[in-house]
Amino acid sequence: MIAAARKVCLMTAAAVLIAFGWTEKQAESGVLESPELGKAATMAAACGGCHGKGGDAIVGLDTRSADEIQSLLMAYKADAAGSSVMHRISRGYSEAQIRMIAAYLAAREGR
Amino acid sequence: MAARPDRRAVIAGLAALAAMPSFAAGNSARVVVVGGGYGGATAARFIKRLAPEVKVTLVEPNRTFTSCPLSNLVIVAARDLAAQRFGYQALAREGIDIVHDRATDVDAAARTVALAGGSTLRYDRLILSPGIDIDWSALEGYGSAAAEAMPHAWKAGEQTLLLRRQLEAMEDGGLVVISVPRAPFRCPPGPYERASLIAHYLRNRKPRAKLLVLDAKDDFSKQPLFQAEWAARYGGVLEWRGASDGGRVSRVDAGAMTLETDFERIRADVANVIPPQKAGEIAARAGVADSTGWCPVNAVAFESSLQPGIHVIGDATIAAPMPKSAFTANMQAKVCAVQVARLLRGMSPEPTVLVNTCYSYLDPDEAISISGVYSNEGGVLADVPGAGGVSPAAPNPRSRTSEAAEAFDWFRAITRETFG
**Residue B25 predicted with pLDDT over 80:** no
**Residue B137 predicted with pLDDT over 90:** yes
Three-state secondary structure string covering A34-57: CHHHHHHHHHHCCHHHCCCCCCCC
Smallest CA–CA separation between B15 and chain A, in Å? Answer: 5
State how far the Cα of B399 lies from the Cα of B414, in Å rounded to an integer.
Answer: 22
The residue-averaged pLDDT of B166-170 equals 98
pLDDT at position A37, please? 86
pLDDT at position A30, please? 67
What's the count of helices (H) and strands (E) in chain A, helices before strands?
A: 6, 0
The residue-averaged pLDDT of B22-35 equals 74
**Residue B10 predicted with pLDDT over 70:** no
CATH number of the domain within which A76 lies: 1.10.760.10
> How deeply is B268 buried, as exposed, middle or buried, from its count of CB atoms within 10 A (0-12, 13-18, 19+)?
buried
The CATH number for B26-131+280-419, chosen from 3.50.50.60, 2.60.40.1930, 3.30.450.40, 1.10.260.40, is 3.50.50.60
AA letter at A34: S
Give the range of the structural domain holding residue A69, as residue numbers without chain letter: 2-108
**Residue A16 predicted with pLDDT over 80:** no
The residue-averaged pLDDT of B290-313 equals 98
pLDDT at position A111, please? 33
pLDDT at position A52, please? 83
User: Are A46 and B51 in contact (CB < 8 Å)?
Assistant: no
Helix, strand or coil, per DSSP, at residue B241: strand
Q: Is A13 on the interface with B (CB under 8 A)?
A: yes
**Residue B358 predicted with pLDDT over 90:** yes
C-alpha closest to that of A50 among B321, B185, B418:
B418
- The angle that helices B326-344 and A35-44 make with each other, rounded to 10 degrees, is 160
State how far the Cα of B333 lies from the Cα of A46, in Å rounded to an integer.
Answer: 11
Residue range B37-64, pLDDT digits in tens = 999 999 999 999 999 999 999 999 999 9
State how far the Cα of B108 lies from the Cα of B312, in Å rounded to an integer.
Answer: 13
**Residue B5 predicted with pLDDT over 60:** no
Question: First-to-last CA distance in chain A?
Answer: 29
Domains B26-131+280-419 and B146-277 share a fold: yes
pLDDT at position A56, please? 84
State how far the Cα of B75 lies from the Cα of B149, in Å rounded to an integer.
Answer: 16
Whole-number average pLDDT of chain B: 94
What's the count of helices (H) and strands (E) in chain B, helices before strands?
A: 11, 26
State how far the Cα of B344 lies from the Cα of B355, in Å rounded to an integer.
Answer: 25
User: Are B18 and A16 in contact (CB < 8 Å)?
Assistant: yes
pLDDT band of B18, cuts 50, 70, 90: very low
Residue B379 per-residue DSSP state: G
Number of folded domains that form chain A: 1
Residue range B322-352, pLDDT digits in tens = 999 999 999 999 999 999 999 999 999 999 9
Residue of A nearest to B44 (CA): A21
pLDDT at position A54, please? 76
The residue-averaged pLDDT of B162-175 equals 98
State how far the Cα of B348 lies from the Cα of B346, in Å rounded to an integer.
Answer: 7
pLDDT band of A12, cuts 50, 70, 90: very low
Residue of B nearest to A29 (CA): B50
pLDDT at position A25, please? 34
The b-or-e profile of A44-68 (16+ CB within 10 A means b, else e) is bbbbbbbbbebbebbeebbebebee
Task: Say whether domain B146-277 belongs to CATH 3.40.50.2300.
Answer: no
C-alpha closest to that of A89 among B353, B193, B395, B333:
B353
User: Are A27 and B52 in contact (CB < 8 Å)?
Assistant: yes
Facing residue for A45 by CB, picked from B14, B335, B389: B335
Residues in A 15-34 with any Cβ partner in B closer than 8 A? 16-17, 19-22, 26-34
Residue range B176-199, pLDDT digits in tens = 999 999 999 999 999 999 999 999
With a CB cutoff of 8 Å and minimum separation 6, the contacts of B73 are: B79, B197, B361, B364
The residue-averaged pLDDT of A11-32 equals 42
User: Are A88 and B24 in contact (CB < 8 Å)?
Assistant: no
Domain boundaries, chain B: 26-131+280-419, 146-277
- Structural contact between residues B410 and A52, judged by C-beta atoms closer than 8 angstroms: no
State how far the Cα of B96 lies from the Cα of A30, in Å rounded to an integer.
Answer: 21
**Residue B124 predicted with pLDDT over 70:** yes
State how far the Cα of B312 lies from the Cα of B276, in Å rounded to an integer.
Answer: 20
- Structural contact between residues B212 and B261, judged by C-beta atoms closer than 8 angstroms: no
**Residue B166 predicted with pLDDT over 80:** yes
AA letter at B112: T
User: Are B11 and A31 in contact (CB < 8 Å)?
Assistant: no
pLDDT at position A63, please? 83
pLDDT at position A5, please? 34
* Percent share of chain B, pLDDT over 90: 92
